[in-house]
Amino acid sequence: MPCEAPPYTYRCVDRSPLVGPFCRYVARWFAQWLPPAVPANLVTLFSSGCMWVMLWLAATQAPALAPWCLVLMTGYVIYDHVDGMHSRRTGTSGPLGEFLDHYTDAFHGAIAVAAMFLVAGREGSPWLGPVLWAVTLAGAATMVEERECQQLHFGFIGPLEGMLLTIAYFASWCFGSAADWWLAPRVGGLAVFELVMIAGAGGCLLTAASCARRIGRLPVGLVGFGLAGVALCGLGLWRGLDWWMIALPLTLHGADYTGRVIASHLRGAASPRADWVAPAFMVCAVPAGLPAGWAAVIAAIYLLGRNAALMRGFFKIFGGYWRWWNQSAASPS
């Protein structure tokens, strides 16, 4: 790994028809009230905090769960766009901000999926693992494309559309009749909820395929990451594991690989490979007789260590970009 990072540049093509109006008429209203002295990185962490609070509420099945998820998801979507606007307005854009934004997003997609299943009372559904895998694969593929093509690309239906649909989903559950509609069996005995989740997973796979098409090949690291996720999902379906036993390692595994891809792009380092230790351990340990809960916890601790090492290494190079306070921020434009 090089000891010095290349000059920072940010290139993004976003073909979403909603991003422009959303930033202009919604996010900008919130951005203009932020004092220039407030660092954009803290805004990123605030938006991320909304998602983690939502996960905690969903996992504990707090009362009035859907309205809380609606409020927190809305706060996340708004401030996830405000942080970039604020960094450009104050002239404080940098690699650390990009890393924090995209690295935390590697968790947020999985949190949103888990919360949607928990709100519907479908955490035991066999589709939770595959949907989580598809979401993490799409996020990883997007970052791999940025690394390989030196440009971030969002399609006509991108992250904002997915987040707005998630908000609409939580809003629907604020009405008493939502369960009757979402859980009504339709095709092949699958409920409307499951059909929508499967369709969303299919969209994520199309996103990953589009990224590979624009790259012009299938990167080895991305293929390995996808196969590791398939192994974890297959284990969960085969052994009938509780939802968190697959969701936890899948999410941490996805964040580890995606974060390393982002870091390699910003540091000018070699393309990383996905970790196989945690998936191989679970695939071998659970059939061998180790309780699945213990196997999931051990794998999660190992993956947490990898994520912590990733953060430590990145901050070692780019920690100078961190600000608790903008000392000389530019005037709002």
Q: Report how far residue 127's alpha carbon sits from residue 199's, in angstroms, rounded to the nearest whole number.
A: 11
pLDDT at 327: 79
Q: Is residue 6 part of a domain?
A: no
pLDDT exceeds 80 at position 84: yes
Statement: residue 1 has pLDDT above 70:
no
Q: Give domain status of residue 155, yes or no.
A: yes
Mean pLDDT in the chain? 93
Banded model confidence at residue 328, pLDDT cuts 50, 70, 90: low
- The range of the structural domain enclosing residue 159 comes to 12-319
pLDDT at 295: 97
- What is the model's pLDDT at position 61? 85
Q: Using an 8 Å Cβ cutoff, are 81 and 22 in contact? A: yes
User: Is 333 a domain residue?
Assistant: no
The CB density around residue 296, as the number of other CB atoms within 10 Å, is: 25
Residue 331 lies in a domain: no
Q: Is this model's pTM higher than 0.75 or not?
A: yes
Q: Is residue 2 part of a domain?
A: no
Strands (E), 10-76: 12-14
Q: According to the model, what pLDDT value does residue 22 have?
A: 96
Is the predicted pLDDT of residue 280 greater than 70, yes or no? Answer: yes
For residue 332, pLDDT over 90 is answered with: no
pLDDT-derived band at 75, boundaries 50, 70, 90: very high
Q: What is the mean pLDDT of residues 131-146?
A: 97
Lowest mean pLDDT among 176-190, 236-250, 267-281: 176-190
Q: Is residue 212 part of a domain?
A: yes
What is the pLDDT averaged over residues 135-158?
Answer: 94
pLDDT for position 34: 92
Compute and round to an integer the Cα radius of gyration of the chain: 20
User: Among all chains, which residue has been given the structure tokens 């939802």?
Assistant: 243
pLDDT at 4 (0 to 100): 61
Question: Which amino acid appears at position 22 of this protein?
Answer: F
pLDDT tens per residue across span 24-44: 999 999 999 999 999 999 999
Q: Is residue 5 part of a domain?
A: no
Q: Determine, yes or no, domain membership for 328.
A: no
Question: What span, in angstroms and rounded, lies between the C-alpha atoms of 96 and 40?
Answer: 10
Q: What is the pLDDT of residue 230?
A: 97
Residue 188: its pLDDT value, please?
Answer: 83
- What is the percentage of the chain residues whose pLDDT exceeds 70? 97
Structural domains in the chain (count)? 1
